[in-house]
């Protein structure tokens, strides 16, 4: 009975992290070039083994911080992948997380530059193979992000503190893969009253400068309690 019991304790757990960023134009994902077998030289999601005394959530945070230096960013567990054959070196399950970071706050830590951590356009990565089952993991995280971004104000995590409405719209379009109508989008967002008008404008652009806004999370929380329905849906489409 005891030996039987011990035989179950032979799994390894990894966390793989789909780190999303937004460059003002496209949704991006951070990949690393593998320096070891298996899948040597293939692109892979950043990830690592969970340590014996480490909470799962802490492991996810650790991976992100080791790589980017960022703490307390948006991090959400998505799904656990556990096919017996998924890892050639043994029985390894992986728990997929995704995180949303402001691409400007970020610099790749020196220790990881050798591993060629790089941003890729999500749409490009979907066309190329990745190590292990990382393509499946990426797809699961994209799908979750699409659902989540429509009903929770997490899109702001991908933007700088100060942003324009056009940037916000572009962000939603690149995540949802749908065009949004400019006037309807502005009307909807502004009517929620969850943005602070910073009374500032862009500078040095060769066109009428856009107003800058920031997200008012305290106000958002108050409004949610009063029954606000945050919902960005893409029936507001355009040809």
Partner DNA sequence: GCAAAAGTGTTTACAGTACACCCATGG
Partner DNA sequence: CCATGGGTGTACTGTAAACACTTTTGC
Which residue ranges make up the site for DNA (CB under 7 A)? 164-166, 181-184, 186-188, 201, 203-211, 231, 233, 235-239
CB of 37 to its own copies, least distance (A): 12
Nearest to 165 by CA among 119, 104, 223, 232: 232
Comparing CB distances to its own copies, the nearer of 62 and 211 is: 62
Comparing CB distances to its own copies, the nearer of 30 and 59 is: 59
When CB distances are held under 5 to 8 angstroms depending on the partner's kind, the choice from its own copies, DNA, none that residue 25 binds is none
String of contacts with its own copies for each residue 175-214, x by CB under 8 A: ----------------------------------------
57 binds its own copies (CB under 8 A): yes
Comparing CB distances to its own copies, the nearer of 95 and 159 is: 95
- Torsion of Cα atoms, 151 then 157 then 159 then 162, to 10°: 100
When CB distances are held under 5 to 8 angstroms depending on the partner's kind, the choice from its own copies, DNA, none that residue 205 binds is DNA
Comparing CB distances to its own copies, the nearer of 74 and 106 is: 74
130 binds its own copies (CB under 8 A): no
Please enumerate, as own/partner, the contacts of 154-160 that have beta carbons within 8 Å and a separation of 24 or more: 154/74, 154/100, 155/232, 156/215, 157/73, 157/74, 157/100, 157/101, 157/102, 158/20, 158/21, 158/22, 158/27, 158/100, 158/101, 158/102, 158/103, 159/22, 159/102, 160/102, 160/104
């Amino acid at each position: 009975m005891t030996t039987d019991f011990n035989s179950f304790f032979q799994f390894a757990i990894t966390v793989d992290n789909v780190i999303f960023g937004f460059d003002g134009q496209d949704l991006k994902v951070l990949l690393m070039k593998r320096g070891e077998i298996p899948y040597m030289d293939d692109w892979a999601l950043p990830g690592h083994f969970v340590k014996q005394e480490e909470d799962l959530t802490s492991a996810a945070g650790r991976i992100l911080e080791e790589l980017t230096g960022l703490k307390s960013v948006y991090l959400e567990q998505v799904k656990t992948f556990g096919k017996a054959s998924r890892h050639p070196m043994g029985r390894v399950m992986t728990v997929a997380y995704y995180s949303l970071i402001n691409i400007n706050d970020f610099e790749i830590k020196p220790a990881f530059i050798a591993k060629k951590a790089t941003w890729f356009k999500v749409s490009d990565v979907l066309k190329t193979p990745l190590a292990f089952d990382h393509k499946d993991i990426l797809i699961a995280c994209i799908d979750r992000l699409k659902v989540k971004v429509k009903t929770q104000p997490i899109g702001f995590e991908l933007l700088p503190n100060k942003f324009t409405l056009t940037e916000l719209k572009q962000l939603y379009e690149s995540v949802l893969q749908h065009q949004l109508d400019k006037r309807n989008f502005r009307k909807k967002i502004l009517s929620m009253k969850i943005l602070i008008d910073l009374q500032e404008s862009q500078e040095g652009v060769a066109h009428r400068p856009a107003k800058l806004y920031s997200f008012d999370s305290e106000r958002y929380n108050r409004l949610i309690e009063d029954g606000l329905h945050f919902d960005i849906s893409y029936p507001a489409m355009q040809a």
